[in-house]
Structure 1
Amino acid sequence: MLSHVSPEPSTTISPRRRTLAMAVLIGASFMDLFDVTIMQVALPSIRNDLHADAAQLEWIIAGYMLAFASMLITGGRLGDAIGRRRAFLIGVAGFTLASLAGACSPDADLLIVARVAQGLFAAVMVPQGLSTLQALYRPRERARVYGMFGAISGMAAVAGPILGGVLVSGDVAGLGWRSVLLINVPVGIVLLVLGRAYIPDTRDTEPADRDLIAVALSAGGVVAVLYPIVEGHTLGWPAWSWAVMAGGVVLLALFVVRQRAVARAGRAPLLPGRLFANRGFSVGLVVQTVFQGSMNIVTLTLMLYVQSTLGYSALKAGMTILAFALGAFAGFAIAGPFARFGRHLMFVGALLQSTGTFVTLLIVLHEGAALTPWDIVAPLAVMGAGLSMLVMPLVEVALALVPVRWAGAASGVFATFQQLGAAVGIAVAGTTYFAVLGTDLAVPHAAHAFAVTAALGAAGYLIAAFASLALPNREQVLAHEEAVRAAIEAEEEGLSAI
């Protein structure tokens, strides 16, 4: 049946406009991921300036992630319903204003509120990127576009601590940590102007029902699952945290039941259940979640160790992972010509990340208090190169077999699992590191705590490596693209014959 297949918008806009639209959408994704990682090196400065306690510092990071993850599915479908350009502009405008409000916060509580607002508007902004790109480009063109999207996303994750260290330590105009939020304001204004000018308006031809109950179930379920993960280790994992998590699972199960009922009634659900029947998409979610969790475990624990134990400044801590960023840049150049190998390139990339992590923890154990950034340049560079090899093909392979009409929902789910992985990674990092560290703050004991925690990240990368082998191979992706192309041509011929 071909009634749902339609020629893609890429046939009606100029290549120049399409390229500029892609740049704006990728820029917004960069701003989001960059904003998550840049805050990590700013926390000590925020603690000193706003007299924030440990719980408040944790919520400055976690509040953003919880708000973001809870509304991503809804944000993706909102773009399908009201138009992706409109939703994108609303998200960028709100994110920019929330960044300004956060930079002006007089205390930690108001900063947390601003970070939650950032997360909510980011949940509207970010899903429009992948869904619009999927609607703008034909299947055979998406490998290059998704590769660029993944590459930029990876660079944002490693660039955040570096630029954050420069801004905080440089104390630009006496702004200190506030500069890491203010930097979003000019970037957001540029994205608004260019987005309005160049992003074409696309939307789902079968928009989901405006089901507020489904929205509440999905958002409540995600928050109920993530909140105990983020807070549990700080509170000692009380019984209520497990009860809340179980309740979240129940809410998500009810959400699935309701979505199936909506589909049986012939209406468009908020989240098409058939998405998860797509093996490539489901396996891609596993790889995305485990990879994001592992990366956050390793990077956050490394930042904790060098700043809290070795006394590195924000700048020196950020520069410590410069080799990671340089390795990622080199990896993008190397991986580009080999992107066609898809899952096999991802397998190699995840193995490199695991190997680099393992070597790093061995060096930290050996060097102890004498550790310098130069000691871990090589393994961090290997980890960066592995990052590039993993993320460049990931989006394309995971979304390759997803119908365009579900682009918004798929993008929202994919980004939700990205945040889920990050939240779990941060929780695992904090729980494991401080549990092993205990009250003995001596360097050898802290190095041991880092090694144990980083080993979990290395194991996670191995899981991602072997899971990636279950993704669709190149022949399956090409066969799907050919089937879509044939369906479009057949429909066009049918229309011309009328």
Structure 2
Amino acid sequence: MGSFSERGRTAAVVVLLLASFMDLMDNTIVNVALPSMERSLHTTAAQLEWVVSGYVLTFAAMLIAGGRLGDMFGRRTVFMVGAAGFTLASLWAGLSSSGTELVVVRLAQGLFAGAMVPQVLGTVQALYPPEERAGVYGIAGAVTGLAAVAGPLLGGAFVSGDVFGLGWRTIFLVNVPVGVLVLIGAFTLVPQTKADHPLSLDVLGTVLAAGGVVALVYPLIEGRQAGWPWWTVGLFALAPVLLAAFVLHERGRARGGRALLLPLRLFGDRGFSAGLTVQLSFQASVIGFLFVLSITVQSGFGFSAWQAGLVVLPFSIAAAITSGAAAALVAKAGRTLVGIGALLQSIGAAWSIEVVAGGSHPSVAGLIGPMAVAGAGLGLVLVPLTDVVLAAVPTDDAGSASGTLSTFQQVGGALGIAIVGTAFFDSVSSSRDLGDAFGVAAWIVVALGLLATLAGLLLPHARPTVTAPNAAD
């Protein structure tokens, strides 16, 4: 650590955080462009769901493996491969001519992001001793908040402004010059680091776990449009089989003393399992909510993409404010903050039902209240959750536990799109208007938030820790 100059470390962190910002903004910018994509490419409802959920699924599948590849082959090397692939996939996405093509590219984009993002915090940990990392983590958290605010606003501006006549394509093409800068900066400014004792890859475990999740998500998204044929039932039945095979495989690796993809022994701890339940259900609630809201206000009530971005602004600002407050209170009231945050998400979603599906035409101003309440909940959950969960985890398992939380976060987002989106589009196809369909879907959002609230009651009390911000936010 001492071999790196302060100026050199700062320059490297700037490059790494620029890449992190690019990924985070890409995650938040897409929702406001979905109706424009639908009109331009004549996409199906399922394809719209895959544009969002496909990205987070492949990101989740690659997240832990990406971190281990960086430990083994060099974090800068894997970071640059991920950044190059992400940039090329962004270019391809911006040039896509069909919904199917765009979905395939988004799958690739998520995969490369899953290789790139773990190297950010891994490199920070290699460059800074533990006592100096808190400041860097704070800056990384600020970047996360900035991306959350900038994504919907920039997406709305790009689509509504029809920049260079490219419409929604600009939200992907903007990544190209940024990605080139990241690659040049990484090559010239980011040092190569590796782990002294890297953990081995678990390819079969990754395939089994990802296969189990896909076997659950795929029929949820595609089944409605296909009329729920026999293969949807077959995939639903296959999902628990694959996940059970994954558990048996991991137990076999544990007996052999080999590195595990997920720390199964920790699942027996009530606090850890409760934390994963909170993460899964809360992320499903938030991501599913933002997905159907953006489509409803634009396609159902004629909002422009810019207005749709403004709708999300109170959500992002409130999340940033409560994140700061939660960081100061986590050691004293972490578990309580998580429960209150999940409950606020449910209250905000329920309030939005009254505004959007209450019979009158919603407005940007009318949605400020519910969006601010829901966003406040996000900040109160995400900041303390990692600290609270790690309070129940032995120090040696903290890295694996944190990685598991990140993976469950992404899987929760994909499930939220599948479950909430399916309910929404099924209601639309049943001759409901989009406002009514939003009401049906949003009640599922409320239920998922309440599940996270109840699971939060089982969390352990937090202890003061200095943890990295969740790179996958």
Aligning the two structures, in what range does the TM-score lie when normalised by the shorter sequence?
0.7 to 0.9
Residues 1:452 and 2:440 are matched in the alignment: yes
User: 1:159-201, CA deviations, whole angstroms, 9 ceiling, x for partnerless residues?
Assistant: 4333211101111112211110011122223333444555555
Give 1:143 shift: 6.6
Counterparts of 1:318 and 1:168, CA distance in 2: 10
| 2:351 aligns with one of 359, 363, 366 | 359
Does the CA contact (< 8 Å) of 2:391 and 2:461 recur in 1? no
Residue identity matched to 1:474: A
- CA-CA distance at 1:249 after TM superposition: 2.5
Q: Where do residues 99-498 of structure 1 align in structure 2 (5 Å cutoff)?
A: 99-133=90-124, 149=140, 152-153=143-144, 156-157=147-148, 159-196=150-187, 199=190, 201-277=192-268, 281-341=272-332, 342-366=334-358, 368-399=359-390, 409-442=400-433, 446-475=434-463
Judge which range, 209-218 or 77-86, deviates more: 209-218
Contiguous gaps of at least 5 residues in structure 2:
468-473
Q: Are the equivalent residues in 1 in contact too, given 2:289–2:445 (CA < 8 A)? A: yes
How many angstroms apart in 2 are the aligned matches of 1:97 and 1:313? 29
After superposition, the C-alpha distances for 1:454-484 in whole angstroms (9 at most, x for unaligned) are 1222232232233234334234x56x99xxx
- Higher mean C-alpha deviation, range 350-359 or range 87-96: 350-359
**Number of residue pairs matched?**
466
How far the C-alpha of 1:414 sits from its partner, in A, is 2.8
Counterpart in the other structure of 1:48 = 39
Q: Counterpart of 2:471?
A: none
Q: Deviations over 1:85-140 (max 9, x none)?
A: 33222211211111112212233333233212101111212233455556666667
The answer as to whether partners of 1:134 and 1:407 remain within 8 angstroms in 2 is no
Per the alignment, in what secondary structure is the counterpart of residue 85 of structure 1? Answer: helix
Deviation string, structure 1 residues 50-92 (Cα, Å, up to 9, x no partner): 3434443333333323322333332232223223333222211
Q: Distance in 1 between matches of 2:273 and 2:78?
A: 26
Q: Take 1:234 and 1:131, find their aligned partners in 2: how far apart are those partners?
A: 42
Q: SS at 1:237's partner residue?
A: coil
Contact 1:159 / 1:325 at 8 angstroms: preserved in 2?
A: no
Single out whichever of 260-269 and 310-319 deviates more from structure 2.
260-269
Q: Residues of 2 paired with 1:45 and 1:154: CA distance? A: 26
Q: 1:16 to 1:276 in 2, by over 3 A?
A: farther
Corresponding residue SS for 2:96: coil
Counterpart CA distance in 1 for 2:454 and 2:10 is 34
Task: Please tell me whether the aligned partners of residues 71 and 219 of structure 1 are also in contact (alpha carbons under 8 angstroms).
Answer: no
Q: Matches of residues 18-29 of structure 1 in structure 2 within 5 Å?
A: 21=12, 24-29=15-20
Let me know the Cα RMSD of the aligned residues: 3.3
Cα gap change, 1:23 to 1:408, in 2 (>3 Å): farther
Letter of the aligned partner of 2:242 in structure 1? L
Q: Show CA shifts across 1:321-350 (max 9, x none).
A: 222223223333444433433222222222
Q: 1:317 to 1:106 in 2, by over 3 A?
A: same
Tell me which structure has the larger Cα radius of gyration: 1
Is residue 58 of structure 1 aligned with residue 49 of structure 2? yes
TM-score, normalisation: structure 1:
0.81
Q: Could you tell me how far 1:407 is from its partner in structure 2? A: 6.7
Asked whether the equivalents of residues 353 and 383 of structure 1 are also in contact (C-alpha less than 8 Å), the reply is yes
1:427–1:106 distance in 2 versus 1, CA, 3 Å: closer
Instruction: State the one-letter code of the partner of 1:449.
Output: A
Offset of residue 317 of structure 1: 1.8
SS of the residue 1:344 aligns to:
helix
Write the distance in 1 (CA, Å) between the matches of 2:407 and 2:248: 19
Judge conservation of contact 1:139–1:400 (CA < 8 Å) in 2.
no
1:405, CA displacement in angstroms? 6.8
Q: CA deviation at 1:14?
A: 5.6
Letter in 1 for 2:161: G
Of stretches 340-349 and 208-217 in structure 1, the one that deviates more from structure 2 is: 208-217
**Structure 2: distance between partners of 1:15 and 1:392:** 28
